[in-house]
Amino acid sequence: MSILPRLISSVRPSLSGPIRGTAALRSYHIQSKPSAEKGRTEPQYKYKFLEGNPTVGIVGCPFSGGQGRTGVDLAPNKLISAGLVDQLSSLGWEVHYNSQEKFIDIPYNPIPASSPSAPENGTEINERSGKKVQRLPDEDIGKMKKPRLVSAVNREVSKEVEEIAKKGWLPLTLGGDHSLAMGTVSGTKAKYPDACLIWVDAHADINTPDTTDSGNLHGCPVSFLLGLEGTDVAPFNEWLKPCLEPEEIVYIGLRDVDGPEKEILKKHGIKAFSMHHVDKYGIGKVVEMALDHVNPDRSKPIHLSYDVDALDPMVAPSTGTPVRGGLTFREGHYITEALAETGCLVSVDIMEVNPSLLDPSSVEKTVAAGCSLARASLGETLL
């Protein structure tokens, strides 16, 4: 594991532009096993749906195409270089993390043709794989921005999450923007069709291609997973089928919900706990009510999709769409601790950390929060 910082500092693949330079030739697989010297030899809780030795497969997807700000694509490597692999193995987990090769050879380039870094003839060589990659235009479809890129990346993420889950491991996906949940949740559902979804976020991310104002698809993943009106569109319908029922999802932490999203939530009877409910009942009661709604007897697998902007900007400032009045550090972590206690977690997303925003202290604080949320989901306790 001593080579980890060197690997991470020299390999920084990103889906915001082409990979260049000799450093990009490197690919790697990181594996870390638990030991008494590191800490625990098995997790604090039994994760009852997993198989074999408790194992985490980390999916790091350096993707910013679902929204307009670059930098969120840097988060996976930033979280890994902060020591996340060793942190998780010290909790009793075997950890695997592969290089991000499969997310790089995507035939769409979000960089405009006018950019100096855009390929001259539309074709470039990915120096890591030696493959020729045809960079195709990705024009808007209706209001949707970068639809082909978002679809292609999510299709690969879905395959990766499904593959890890079918090994009996727990996929931990490090985004990247929250459009990636199309891939993570569909991948989880391929292994666990009855899985429920707990979505922790300041935003509902349930706009449809028709209701979105911005066209940024990080605000639409839930509508695609539910198969709402307007989501049966190419290229998404070529691989993504509705896999989630309204009664299978519950929100925690909402406080910035668009008007059309409010109508969608009410129309489909989707359970949502806003910050008003957290203030009124306390986070402990909110989590209990959320679980009672989607998993009343705690017998179903749980997919946790956690956007760090659910936390108050004082706790996690380096994120693309911060909204004041969010979860405190302890409220945010209580959610993950309580879900870990159920033993039902089968898949976890940590999304929307953006290391390019604000000052180094803010970045360090946000990255630390992302790592600690992952650790708490995998059984870290205060005592």
Rounded to 5 degrees, φ, ψ at 249 are -120, 145
Does 98 map to a domain? yes
Q: What are the C-alpha distances in Å from 38 to residues 62, 94, 218, 318, 344?
A: 29, 12, 37, 30, 25
Using DSSP's 3-state secondary structure scheme, residue 78 falls into helix
**Nearest in space to 18 (alpha carbons), one of 111, 101, 98, 100:** 111
C-alpha–C-alpha distance, residues 155 and 47, integer Å: 27
State how far the alpha carbon of 256 is from the alpha carbons of 64, 204, 279, 323, 344, in Å.
21, 8, 16, 7, 29
Q: What is the tens place of the pLDDT at every residue in 305-357?
A: 999 999 999 999 999 999 999 999 999 999 999 999 999 999 999 999 999 99
Kindly report, residue by residue over 132-180, the tens digit of the pLDDT. 555 677 899 999 999 999 999 999 999 999 999 999 999 999 999 999 9
Predicted confidence at residue 220, as pLDDT, reads: 98
CB 304 within 8 A of CB 198: yes
10 lies in some domain: no
Count CB-CB contacts under 10 A for residue 16. Answer: 18
What domain range is 307 assigned to? 29-109+140-378
Mean pLDDT of 357-379: 98
- Least confident window among 36-50, 132-146, 175-189: 132-146
For residue 242, is it within any domain?
Answer: yes
Query: CA 238, CA 123: separation in Å to the nearest integer?
Result: 25
Name the CA dihedral angle for 100, 106, 108, 110, rounded to a multiple of 10 degrees.
0
- Return the CATH number at 274: 3.40.800.10
Q: Tens of pLDDT along 210-264?
A: 999 999 999 999 999 999 999 999 999 999 999 999 999 999 999 999 999 999 9
Q: How many domains does the chain have?
A: 1
Which residues does the annotation place in the binding site?
Answer: 178, 201, 203, 205, 307, 309
- String of DSSP letters for 49-72: T--SS-EEEEEE----TTSS-SSG
DSSP assignment of 141-186: BTTBSSHHHHHHHHHHHHHHHHHHHHTTPEEEEE-S-GGGHHHHHH
Task: Give the strand pairing for 249-254 and 196-200.
Answer: parallel
Q: Copy the structure tokens of residue 21.
A: 């330079």
Between 3 and 279, name the one with better pLDDT.
Answer: 279
Among the residue ranges 69-83, 92-106, 137-151, 251-265, the one predicted with the least confidence is: 92-106
Q: Is residue 23 included in any domain, yes or no?
A: no
pLDDT of residue 8: 38
Pairing mode, strands 29-32 and 94-98:
antiparallel
Q: What is the pLDDT of residues 109-133, one digit of tens each?
A: 444 444 444 455 555 544 444 555 5
The answer to the question of residue 290 being in a domain is: yes
C-alpha triplet 30, 32, 38: angle, nearest 5°: 145
The confidence score (pLDDT) of residue 137 equals 79
Which residues are annotated as part of the binding site for Mn(2+)? 178, 201, 203, 205, 307, 309
Assess if residue 132 is contained within a domain: no
- What predicted TM-score, i.e. pTM, was given to this entire model? 0.89
